[in-house]
Chains A and B, each alone.
Chain A
């Protein structure tokens, strides 16, 4: 079965610094989804990547999917305290769109003011 591994497991950065979170799959990804979760709350959808080499940005967050579609990265530029939370990557393990998503264990981000 497909597994998603995220690194690092936790991250503490100074406000204003850049950071990168990685998500690696044991198999080809047919859809890679990034979510953010704050403690005690639900998951908020950030971005979806489907094509090899695809890159998307929203405000100061950029997500990329490598050409082989087995690794994705989430990059935050000039981090702010509002970026703190748990970031999870999710993937559709099947080629046809519309199935269940499996998730990585999450990366906990703390931003020090």
Chain B
């Protein structure tokens, strides 16, 4: 069975550019989560969706960040404009029946 699929795995961009990260959750999972991981702050929840509806976006850093889930099998996290402090690994996860999260391999973002 396919796990959570994220793309791209690596992204290097220049400050001010738009970045779009993509995620395909595990089929049948109704909740999707976006996390950001850095050495300084660890793993932080940015936003999560239940049945494609955003439930809690209190972790989204600022208006430059936005997330959408147009259908049950696809979500995007967009940063516009990007800044060097956005450099991190961004993880997408979907939730199993016992509350456990299944994570993708992550998208490593470097903003120069």
What residue in chain B is nearest A33 (Cβ atoms)? B100
Given contacts A41-B105, A43-B91, A105-B42, contact A100 B56 (CB under 8 A): yes
Within A54-113, which residues are at the interface with B (CB < 8 Å)? 88, 90, 92, 97-98, 100-106
- CB atoms of A103 and B43 under 8 A apart: yes
* A23 at the B interface (CB under 8 A): no
- The majority secondary structure among interface residues of chain A is loop
- CB atoms of B42 and A103 under 8 A apart: yes
- CB atoms of A33 and B42 under 8 A apart: no
Q: How many B residues touch the partner, as a band?
A: 20 to 34
Determine which of B33, B43, B50, B102 lies in contact with A45 in the assembled complex, contact meaning CB atoms within 8 Å: B102
- CB atoms of B31 and A101 under 8 A apart: no
Given contacts A42-B104, A43-B91, contact A100 B45 (CB under 8 A): yes
Q: Which residues of A contact B95 (CB under 8 A)?
A: 98
Given contacts A42-B106, A100-B56, contact A48 B43 (CB under 8 A): no
Q: Mark A23-51, 1 if CB is under 8 A from B, else 0.
A: 00000000101010000111111001000
- CB atoms of B105 and A42 under 8 A apart: yes
Quote the shortest CB–CB distance from B63 to chain A (angstroms).
21
- CB atoms of A48 and B106 under 8 A apart: no
- CB atoms of B42 and A106 under 8 A apart: yes
**Interface residues of A, CB < 8 Å — how many?**
22
A-B contact pairs, 26 of them (CB 8 A): A31-B99, A33-B100, A33-B101, A35-B103, A40-B106, A41-B106, A42-B91, A42-B103, A42-B104, A42-B105, A43-B91, A43-B101, A43-B103, A44-B103, A45-B100, A45-B102, A48-B100, A97-B98, A100-B45, A100-B48, A100-B56, A101-B33, A103-B43, A104-B42, A105-B42, A106-B43
Interfacial residues, chain A to chain B (CB-CB below 8 A): 31, 33, 35, 40-45, 48, 88, 90, 92, 97-98, 100-106
Task: List 10 A-B pairs, minimum CB-CB distance, nearest first.
Answer: A42-B103, A43-B103, A103-B43, A42-B105, A105-B42, A97-B99, A45-B100, A100-B45, A31-B99, A100-B48
